[in-house]
Amino acid sequence: MKIIYTDALIVGGGLAGLRSAIAAREKGLDTIVLSMVPVKRSHSAAAQGGMQASLANTVMGEGDNEDVHFADTVKGSDWGCDQKVARMFVTTAPKAIRELAAWGVPWSRIGKGDHTVVINGKKETITEKDESYGLINARDFGGTKKWRTCYTSDATGHTMLYAVANEALRRDVEIHDKKEAISVIHDSGVCHGVIVRDLINGELSAYVARGTMIATGGYGRIYKQSTNAIICKGIGTAIALETGIVELGNMEAVQFHPTPIVPSGILLTEGCRGDGGVLRDKDGYRFMPDYEPEKKELASRDVVSRRMIEHIRKGKGVKSPYGDHLWLDISILGREHIEKNLRDVQDIAISFNGIDPADEGEKGWMPVLPMQHYSMGGIRVKPTGESTTMRGLFCAGEAACWDLHGFNRLGGNSVSEAVVSGMIVGEYFTQYCEETHLNTNTSVIEAHLQAQIDYLAEILERDGGLNIFDIKDEMRTIMQEKVGIFRNGDDLLDAVHQLEDLLKKTKEITVESKSMGNNPGLNEVYRVTKMLKLALCVAKGALQRTESRGAHYREDYPKRDDMHWLKRTITTWPDTADTLPTVHYEEIDILEMEMPPAFRGYGSKDSLIPNPLSAQREEEIEQIKKSLETVNRFTVQEALLDFALPGNLKHKNERVGVGYA
């Protein structure tokens, strides 16, 4: 039996996992990062447009600070997020970006004086302050009050990931790639590590650690059309679910991005619209101002995606062999801007569609359609990042329901969350690993390892004749058609039944190659089985949530219902023999909020069933503010919502012209 011991074990080598590994190494802990792929190939690399942090360097970001970023994030989440976590995040984000700058991320910097930008389809001139020269620049993104999204052209995730990965290498973080965690080792509610399959030779081994972190990203690949990399199958989330103890939060909260390119589904960054690009229909008409006169193309992602589908349903889509789509027009930004700030977008459009988006007029328009993009749901954790129900199991980044994003994530908050949670959760995780002594006996480890050996052998013995690839395709189609952007009770009920049926059918498959070694066919069986469990959590959560909030939109319940649904969906899988998840709810307390639920600013004001506690809390907040009289914003904030951060992370952030105010 092969057992590898370490202090800190991290599953997943994207931004969140690697940044956490750095935190652990800084305290001298032996640290191993497991990854299915070379870490620099992680999906973090695909983040294009940028990272939100309220630096307020650019003139278009003037007046920005933690409070504004907080308000945008809470509104964006449709009040589904944990406001304490949002506060922790916005306070740390400027530090994260400054750390990355010191690590060499070549952030786009502010030039001298006048610049031409495109705002609302028109060219305008902005003038930067002299004292901002050379500081980190920012672009506009959807759902934000200020230009806050910092970037390196449209390869932001790539440059961030390389900097963080190289810093991890510098600190001798051990990276074991081509390794897949397929089960969590746990005993009496405490996590001791994971069972790992070597993807080169199929060998199984146990990685045992004082503390374990899952940072494996999202589960977008349960959908037929997704911008996610093909490794985003949610396996880390699923193995946590399969413990029967770990809770998943808000799995039905799935984001659809407005502008993946058709048909490949490759993302075209929100930066396209942030920089001034517009959406057009089959007549070349810019339709978003009709639906959202204020924010237009830069409304929140969930809103723009729904409006696009709504417009297509009115017969305004462009016909194609791949179904109807709309156009994204960035040609109005000019070739120079595109070739500097949107060059990957240009490369993608040319390589995959033969379209040069810098070509003027129709010729440069790119076909786009909303597709699955981000998983707000994930392993439910406390603000420290530790599982709510299993000690020693931490989770960070997209894999977690921390819960920063509630029911809709703002563009630019994903890579930001990844590094910020790597700093915060990474620190709490490190503390746990330092304080905890390995306390498990080998029989527990052996039993978990043997269970997986038996499981894989049992898969190879199955002989029902079904093909796992067909089951996967069916799952992905069901999710696409019945658990998509617009949802309704009948379809969701169908989806739950069909997915449950598919899960049962996985017992009736036949794998051609009977090798326990390198066997991609075998990989697919255990992965699809895990994906089906996640798909069921998504579908069942969506079926039971009879309201519309953020990205979860029920045509039969179109209102956000703060009276009944201000709560987090919690799914568990108590028994391995279960074919459906168990669902319960975690209340979100309005009376503890810094910013009680209100109208979000999209659509009509009566699309909301308010909770009287909102008004009560508003009142309380007014009283508190009055009682404090004239004090600075930090004192007010502290009086409304208390939050903690490890180390120096709670320190105030300096800004141009205002210092630490």
Partner 1 sequence: MPENENYREIEITVFRYNPQDKTSKPEYQTYTLTETPGMTLYIALIQIWSKMDHDLSFDFVCRAGICGSCSMVVNGKPRLACKTRTSEFEDGKITLLPLPVFKHIKDLSVDTGNWMNEMSKNLESWIHTQEETDLSRIEKPVDPAVAEEVFELDRCIECGICLASCSTKVMREDFVGAVGLNRVARFQLDPHDQRTDEDFYELVGDENGVFGCMSLMGCEDHCPKNLPLQTKIAYMRRKMVKVK
Strand partners, 394: 213, 386
Q: In whole angstroms, how close is the CB of 348 to partner 1 at the nearest point?
A: 6
Per the CB < 8 A criterion, the answer to whether 54 and 65 are in contact is yes
Find the catalytic residue in 186, 257, 311, 405. Answer: 257
Strand partners, 158: none
Per the CB < 8 A criterion, the answer to whether 144 and 72 are in contact is yes
> Could you give the 3-state DSSP secondary structure of residue 332?
helix
Q: In whole angstroms, how close is the CB of 366 to partner 1 at the nearest point?
A: 13
Q: Kind of pairing, strands 31-35 and 174-177?
A: parallel
Nearer to partner 1 by Cβ, of 159 and 250: the residue is: 159
Side-chain half-sphere CA neighbours of 411 within 13 A: 38
Whether 307 is catalytic is: no
Nearer to partner 1 by Cβ, of 84 and 179: the residue is: 179
Nearer to partner 1 by Cβ, of 476 and 617: the residue is: 476
b/e code 76-103 from CB counts within 10 Å (16+ = b): bbbbbbbbbbbbbbbbbbbbbbbbbbee
Nearer to partner 1 by Cβ, of 231 and 238: the residue is: 231
> Could you give the 3-state DSSP secondary structure of residue 414?
helix
Q: Positive or negative, the Cα torsion across 628, 629, 631, 633?
A: positive
Whether 554 is catalytic is: no
Sheet-wide strand order for 567-572: 400-401, 378-380, 248-249, 567-572, 582-587
Nearer to partner 1 by Cβ, of 483 and 645: the residue is: 645
CA distance 1 to 479: 40
Residue 359 neighbours by CB distance under 10 Å: 14
Q: In whole angstroms, how close is the CB of 101 to partner 1 at the nearest point?
A: 5
Per the CB < 8 A criterion, the answer to whether 440 and 192 are in contact is yes
Find the catalytic residue in 87, 148, 210, 273. Answer: 273
Nearer to partner 1 by Cβ, of 163 and 196: the residue is: 163
Q: In whole angstroms, how close is the CB of 72 to partner 1 at the nearest point?
A: 22
Q: In whole angstroms, how close is the CB of 22 to partner 1 at the nearest point?
A: 11
Q: Residue 657 corresponds to which amino acid?
A: G
To the nearest 10 degrees (0 to 180), the angle between helices 414-435 and 83-102 is: 100
CA distance 576 to 580: 10
Q: In whole angstroms, how close is the CB of 440 to partner 1 at the nearest point?
A: 30
Nearer to partner 1 by Cβ, of 353 and 477: the residue is: 353
Q: Give the ranges where 462-506 is alpha helix by DSSP (H).
A: 468-482, 489-505
- Unique residue bearing structure tokens 């990272």: 51
Tell me if the bond preceding 520 is cis, omega within 30° of 0: no
* Residues in Cβ contact with 631 at an 8 Å cutoff, skipping those fewer than 6 apart: none
* Residue numbers annotated as active site: 257, 273
